Structure 1
Amino acid sequence: MDGAAPKRHTLRVTPPQLKELRLLKIAVIHPDDADGRQLTQQLQRIGCQVQAFWPPVQVLPEGIDVAFMAVQPDFINLRFEWTQNEEAPAIIAVVTYENPTIVEAVLEIGAKAVLPSPVRSFGLLSALVVAREAHKESRSLARRLRKVEAKLLGVRQLAEAKSILMKTHSVSEGQAHDLIRDQAMSKRTTMEEIAAAIVNANEILSLGARRPGQS
């Protein structure tokens, strides 16, 4: 041992969120001014694929992952339907100042992050990553919610279908369950789909039975 201090090895870890930035397609919806050009240049330095748009567009090109939108008084009353679309990109609002109207507009477009103007390089990377992660989480929660809602609907329809079979065929609940299961197996589908078909057919027959002029 010569008494020399051991070398320290620094492990540099790049989060996957940062690695994917070069693959992002970004729309910059901002006036062609110093701020807009600064934003576009900074994003290009990060390695993103950037398209600039002004005036604001009502339809974005397909495949856009993130949209930076200047929220300004002269167009905050416009309605951008694509921002409400289920497949809308993550939105980052670029704001010059704050007041209740601007904040309301930021919420209206569903922004996942806010970037203050004048735009600086500091904070841009964080806003981009945070918005992307929040957007992913939001879409994941929406998908899970749809699955839960579909499951609950299936449970309700299965119960209703069994009730219909019990009344129309004078069978027990267990026998009604077996009938639905057997049909699902023979048709290679789910019990929920068979139950939905039974419920729909019963509704159609019920409407026919209530036609005016029929006894």
Structure 2
Amino acid sequence: MSPTLAHTPNFVGWRALILHRQHQNVDALMAQCARIGITADQAWPTLENAVAISDYRVLLIDADMGYDEQFPWAPGLAPMPIIALIGSEAPGRIAWTIGQGADAQLLKPIGSAGLYSALVVASQAFLRRTAQMQEITLLKDQLAKRQVVAQATAILMLKHSCDAEAAYGRLRKIAMAERRSIEKAAAGIVAGFDADGRTNVTNGR
């Protein structure tokens, strides 16, 4: 389920990292951060001189001069919301920003407002993105387990010359005897199946 705004977002106590060269745009962002209770740090060109990245709640990046090697994670896998600071509308720069998984944007030159709205959008987009990634991971895990069970069932059908229902019944009995889940029992059977199509497992399998 997508997260919704149940109350007025409050960013007091957040810590922001502005990955941008020293510039009046950074000064403007620092001032906006201070007004809404956010502690902000500036770093350039990498995150090496910043405190532990896990201490930050949001990252603001320079979309005009940024590059992949600035970040200790793969493009699109930032562990926090990203707000892109955009001055150039060059297609290559926009594509790079999208590839980084920016959750919101602020157009340069930065003025005296706009950060709060960008934070609301970015934080909600990040929550949705994180929830979707977790759901995808869960679905992939469930699919992999089903595939293993199907493979083990096929192996037991071949070994015992029986139909799928009977083979699955054998798999359940094996899991109960070993006090393991069906998926783990199935993985053991698949692992014991050698390249010649024979099983190395015993115990009546």
TM-score by length of 2: 0.80
| Contact kept? 1:157, 1:199, Cα under 8 Å | yes
Equivalent residue number for residue 195 of structure 2: 206
- Structure 2 counterpart of 1:137, which letter? R
Q: In the aligned structure 2, how far is the partner of 1:28 from the partner of 1:176? A: 59
TM-aligned CA distance change 1:160 to 1:98, over 3 Å: same
**How many residue pairs were aligned?**
192
Q: How does 1:140-151 map to 2 (within 5 A)?
A: 140-151=131-142
**Is 2:109 the counterpart of 1:118?**
yes
| More helix as a share of residues | 1
**Is 2:45 the counterpart of 1:55?**
yes
Equivalent residue number for residue 95 of structure 1: 86
- Partner of 1:84, secondary structure, is coil
Equivalent residue number for residue 72 of structure 1: 64
% identical equivalent positions? 26
CA shift, 1:200, in A, is: 2.1
CA shift, 1:42, in A, is: 1.1
- Partner of 2:186, secondary structure, is helix
Equivalent residue number for residue 212 of structure 1: none
- Structure 1 range deviating more: 154-163 or 129-138: 154-163
C-alpha distance after superposition, 1:53-76 (max 9, x if no partner): 122326862243210001224x44
CA shift, 1:51, in A, is: 2.4
99, 117, 140: which one aligns with 1:108:
99
Structure 2, gaps ≥5 residues long: 199-205
CA shift, 1:17, in A, is: 5.8
11, 14, 27: which one aligns with 2:17:
27
C-alpha distance after superposition, 1:35-61 (max 9, x if no partner): 112212211221123222122326862
CA shift, 1:87, in A, is: 5.3
CA shift, 1:185, in A, is: 3.1
Equivalent residue number for residue 203 of structure 2: none
TM-aligned CA distance change 1:55 to 1:86, over 3 Å: closer
CA shift, 1:194, in A, is: 1.7
RMSD: 2.7
CA shift, 1:167, in A, is: 1.1
6, 9, 12: which one aligns with 1:18:
9
Structure 1, gaps ≥5 residues long: 1-13, 210-215
- Structure 1 range deviating more: 139-148 or 178-187: 178-187
- Structure 1 counterpart of 2:35, which letter? R
Equivalent residue number for residue 165 of structure 1: 156
TM-aligned CA distance change 1:154 to 1:54, over 3 Å: same
- Structure 1 counterpart of 2:130, which letter? R
Q: In the aligned structure 2, how far is the partner of 1:188 from the partner of 1:164? A: 20
- Partner of 1:51, secondary structure, is strand
| Contact kept? 1:17, 1:129, Cα under 8 Å | no
- Partner of 2:60, secondary structure, is strand
C-alpha distance after superposition, 1:93-121 (max 9, x if no partner): 10123221221221122111110112123
Runs of 4+ off more than 6 Å: none
CA shift, 1:16, in A, is: 3.7
Q: In the aligned structure 2, how far is the partner of 1:40 from the partner of 1:137? A: 27
